[in-house]
Amino acid sequence: MDKSKVYYSNLRCKPGVNLLKKLRNLVKAAGIEKIDFEGQYTAIKVHFGEPGNMAYIRPNYVATVVDLLNSLGAKTFLTDANTLYKGRRDNAVDHLRSAMVNGFNPIAVNANVIIADGLKGTNYAAIPIEGAKYCPAPKIGQAVADADIVISISHFKGHEQAGFGGALKNLGMGCASIAGKLELHSSSQPKVNTENCIGCKICEKNCNHGAISVGADRKAVIDYNKCVGCGQCVALCQYSAAVLAEWDTSEVLNCKIAEYTKAVLQGKPNFHISLIMNVSPECDCWGHNDVALVPDLGMMASFDPVALDQACADLVNKAPVINGWKPASGYQYAGSECNCGCGHNHTNASDELFKFIHPDTDWESGLQYAQEIGLGSREYELVEV
């Protein structure tokens, strides 16, 4: 398979050239104008951020892309699908309000927001794909399914179940309807390590499906008849009590995400942008964010979402870890020098950053599977703009 081109811009600026201009120059150099946008319904997939989280993409960057696409005749709209977990984005009313609060409104970004899967997350299209091992007809939010063109703008970061969140996670998980997210998580039911559970009830309070209860013994119990495997308890537990069960693998989840991404992009012109800034250890779905893992590194763009994710992961793994970083889960970064020759402060050559932060995850399997099903290539040529 030929190498895909991934375009990169650092974050250095000088008078007359700010970050917004650099982003515009980046996407133009990467060839976004090769797409015929005239009169085409163009879905711009972004994560609006759970209110309280401050690591999500600033609307200014999104507005820069919107203005460019509008100038090319596109009918642009920003979109995301409703969430499984209990929060302020699990229905279209609250989701729209959250988007507006975080700056994604027509005044700031010059585009309207459409929640992809409707009021209650039930508005979707089942899109058949060839060669799927897990999800033969992914359930994609109707607004995305109806779009003529798909553009993704991703905040590259860690993720508690996928390892990291980039273009594939933004598209595959982010465009899935509520039913789709159930399918994605259906084998991801967690378990409770009772030895670690202190009965704090944070899992019980935040379970959107009433599947967790803390008994008189101050131990959490999961009702698997109600559990949908959304993973919120795993992400919020501070004591490593809610963990992935033996029958659950991050590998399967990432492969499903690849299949859902294939359904989202199937038969449509598409283009992808990732901002490697505020690289928080966990998803922007949470109403908080921990300190970034590495310094802000730059912006990347490509027609190939697989190559883009691989390039972003490679860049992060070569970067120095921010001094004093410690994940909330209790893992402590070892700080021993990497022997891979990069000269940076990794644990060791085989224990790269995302797997160290979330040791039960396997992001590489998702990219490998995405390549196998024809979504893109892990081999890339980096072009600096």
Residues 220 and 362 in one domain: no
Residues 197 and 108 in one domain: no
Alpha-carbon span 231 to 236, nearest angstrom: 9
Residues 361 and 222 in one domain: no
Query: What percent of the residues of the chain are helix, what percent strand, and what percent coil, each to the nearest 5?
Result: 30, 20, 50
Domain finish residue from 224, 244, 264: 244
How many structural domains is the chain composed of? 2
Separation in Å, CA 79 to CA 40, 73, 105, 111, 152: 15, 19, 12, 10, 10
Residues 209 and 139 in one domain: no
Torsions phi, psi of 58, nearest 5? -70, 140
pLDDT confidence band for 330 (50 / 70 / 90): very low
- Residue identified by tokens 């989840």 is 253
Is position 69 within any domain? yes
pLDDT confidence band for 210 (50 / 70 / 90): very high
User: How many residues in the chain?
Assistant: 385
Q: Which amino acid is it at 93?
A: V
pLDDT at 344: 37
Residues 159 and 25 in one domain: yes
Structural domain of residue 136, as residue ranges? 4-185+250-323+356-384
Is position 340 within any domain? no
Residues 39 and 169 in one domain: yes
Residues 203 and 285 in one domain: no
Model pTM score: 0.84
**Is the model's pLDDT at 52 over the cut of 80?**
yes
Residues 97 and 143 in one domain: yes
Is position 346 within any domain? no
pLDDT confidence band for 327 (50 / 70 / 90): very low
Is position 341 within any domain? no
Query: Which of these ranges, 81-90, 194-203, 276-285, has the smallest mean pLDDT?
Result: 81-90
Query: In the predicted model, what is the mean pLDDT of residues 54-71?
Result: 98
Residues 276 and 367 in one domain: yes
Q: At what angle do helices 305-317 and 363-372 cross, to 10 degrees?
A: 150
Q: Is the dihedral of CA 81, 85, 88, 91 positive or negative?
A: positive
Q: pLDDT tens, 280-311?
A: 999 999 999 998 999 999 999 999 999 999 99
The answer to whether 381 and 3 have CB atoms below 8 angstroms apart is yes
The answer to whether 180 and 253 have CB atoms below 8 angstroms apart is no
Query: In the predicted model, what is the mean pLDDT of residues 224-250?
Result: 78
Q: For residue 213, count CB atoms less than 10 angstroms from its CB and return exposed for 0-12, middle for 13-18, buried for 19 or more.
A: middle
**Is the model's pLDDT at 350 over the cut of 60?**
no
Is position 336 within any domain? no
